[in-house]
Chains A and B, each alone.
Chain A
Amino acid sequence: MKKQNLKAWLYLLPALAFLAVFMIYPLADVVVYSLEEGYNSASQTFRGVGLYNFSYVLRDPYFLAAVRNTFLLVIVTVPVSTGLALLISLALNSVKALKNVFQTVYFLPYVTNTLAVGLVFMILFKKTAYSEGLVNLLINWFGGPSVDFIDGPYWAKMLVMCIYTVWVVMPFKVLILTGALASVNPEYYKAARVDGASKGRIFRRITLPMISPMIFYLVITGFIGAFKAYSDEVALFGTDLNAAGMNTIVGYVYDMLYGNSGGYPSYASAAALILFAIVFTITCVNLLISRKSAVV
């Protein structure tokens, strides 16, 4: 037994060492950073201990703008993408021919570099000296006025951000929901049809309850993912998200840490902890709701 013990720890050692250095220690350290007031990264000294970093971050207009952008993004994209994914999966599940082809195509964005494809979205929406951009030409064609989606008004930029985010998250959601729909026992449908239940009734009484755990799962992971949005925004608006007015909370953390506005790990830590608190709270609320509705 002694020898086994030693050997087991030896096998675990690499994983434990990496986790200790790059996960467990940082976890404690981020709290320490967030409490050190006036931390100077050059001299590694600080003035005192307290909650000043949190109050600074919470009063920083850039942070508040980032919070507003992130919440807007979450509120718009999570319901839209989940609903759309449900529609697409239902449609996919009702056909036989070409189903595999559609599934493959729909999954493609999952494996592509979002920074790279974001650039294509930027070009499609951007107004340049040479061209209005394809999307604007479409709008013109329908009789609407052109809008600069990349450097223009706030709502237009927000719209592009939401559209791109939905495009990026769809593959995962469609895959999960199609899988969930396919795993519903066909006997239930047969029984319902024998009883003469209508299509709408079958959907509400059988399909929806059977896949609701997966929908809740997607809503929860969707919330978490959308709250951590960052690189899709960089792809569309460039690295200086504050200038574009399109920063997110995660973007604020990185800006505080690094780059032209960086060098403030304490503010970054405070912002990261605030983000974690928000995500944690919302996940708990989601879990509570899903548990309640599961009972009903």
Chain B
Amino acid sequence: MNTDKSGGAASRIGRAAVYLFLAVWGVVVLFPFYWMVLTSFKSYSSYNSEFVPRFIATDPTLANYRDAFTAVPLARYFLNTLIFTVLTTAVMLVVTVLAAFAFSRLEFRGKNIVFALFLSLMMIPNELVVITNFVTITDWNMRNTFAGLILPSVASIFYIYLLKENFEQIPDELYKAAKVDGTSDLKYLLRVMLPICRPTVVTVTILKVIECWNSYVWPRLITDDQAYFLVSNGIQEIRENGFGRENIPAMMAAVVVISLPLVVLFLIFRKKIMSGVLRGGTKG
């Protein structure tokens, strides 16, 4: 960093320019969030009377949040998404952990072929299989049910792969010792492997939760009964049929409510989420 000191004024200007650039992009990223929160606190009449929108809410009100929960079934959408997210993630974890365990610890004939098949399936885009899945779920009479929403998205090859890699790093000796002690495979998996690999399990869980919370296309195909709408479909419904009139502040209140859980989750697990995506991205 010697060059910076000798650079003097020129480098100080350069540094200021870099910070300015970073700050501008920060504003671009944050502004939509600011605008959504701000608008959600403006009353319907004051929002519509501002030809030039004000950058602060002069007369903040919580009425929009009340409208969001009473005029549209936002609480129902919220609850549905919660149920969907928890169930999908839980079933996905069971399926994924079991498969990863088989690939990493057990010896069986055809293992390599099956694993190669799994990896090649990773390249198949969802758009290609969604058509038949839509027909399958419809044929099974599972439209507008949680089963129909959940079933097609529980087997995630990428997470199996991620967990398998992690499981394989646990030394063989541990497994052999457990075998000598007469520990069953399942017990070994639950008592030894999962606790050791907890960081990866947490990462996988968080990534899946984000995916579930934001999923839109499949829920839209499979539900047309509002009682089973998830938040994404709910927000689209609010946008199109909404509050009986174009009530943008109430819409923004709904958007804030929907976004909040993931933003909070992100602020708590910031490091985990970012390193998880980084790893997921590198290995995609």
Chain A residues near B (Cβ < 8 Å): 1, 4-5, 7-9, 11-12, 14-16, 18-19, 21-27, 29-30, 33, 41, 87-88, 91-92, 94-95, 98, 102-117, 119-121, 123-124, 128, 130-132, 134, 137, 167, 170, 172, 175-176, 179, 193, 217, 221, 224, 228, 230-231, 234-235, 238-239, 250, 253-254, 257-258, 265, 268-269, 272-273, 275-276, 279
Contact = CB atoms under 8 A, between A and B. Distances in A.
B235 A265 contact: no
Contact of A275 (B26, B30, B127): B127
A175 B129 contact: no
B245 to A, nearest CB: 12
B259 A116 contact: yes
B136 interface: yes
Nearest to A269: B131
A172 B281 contact: yes
Given A113-B232, A113-B262, A172-B281, A253 B51 contact: no
26 contacts: A9-B102, A12-B99, A15-B155, A19-B157, A22-B151, A30-B132, A102-B22, A106-B29, A107-B266, A107-B274, A109-B29, A112-B259, A113-B214, A114-B216, A116-B36, A128-B246, A176-B282, A179-B278, A234-B216, A234-B236, A239-B236, A239-B240, A254-B221, A258-B221, A265-B134, A273-B128
Contact of A130 (B51, B221, B266): B51
Nearest to A96: B1
A92 B19 CA distance: 9
Interface residues of B, number: 90
B22 A230 contact: no
Nearest to A230: B217
Contact of A123 (B96, B248, B284): B248
Interface string B259-282: 100110110001001100110011
Contacts of A128: 246
Interface stretch (B60-68, B107-115, B168-176, B191-199): B107-115
A239 B265 CA distance: 29
A146 B64 CA distance: 29
Given A23-B155, A128-B246, A175 B29 contact: no
Nearest to B129: A26
B180 interface: no
Contact of A18 (B3, B154, B277): B154
Contact of A115 (B160, B210, B236): B236
A273 B274 CA distance: 34
Contacts of A30: 128-129, 131-132
A18 B92 CA distance: 10
A220 to B, nearest CB: 9
Given A115-B236, A123-B35, A231-B216, A19 B128 contact: no
Contact of B48 (A8, A130, A172, A239): A130
Contacts of A119: 235, 239, 251-252, 255
Q: State the majority secondary structure of interface residues on A.
A: helix
A115 B237 CA distance: 11
B107 A108 contact: no
Contacts of B29: 105-106, 108-109, 167, 170
A21 B132 CA distance: 10
Interface string B6-44: 000000000100110110011011101101100100000
A253 B130 CA distance: 10
Given A15-B98, A108-B30, 8 more contacts: A4-B107, A29-B132, A33-B131, A107-B274, A111-B265, A114-B214, A114-B216, A130-B50
Interface string B190-215: 00000000000000000000100110
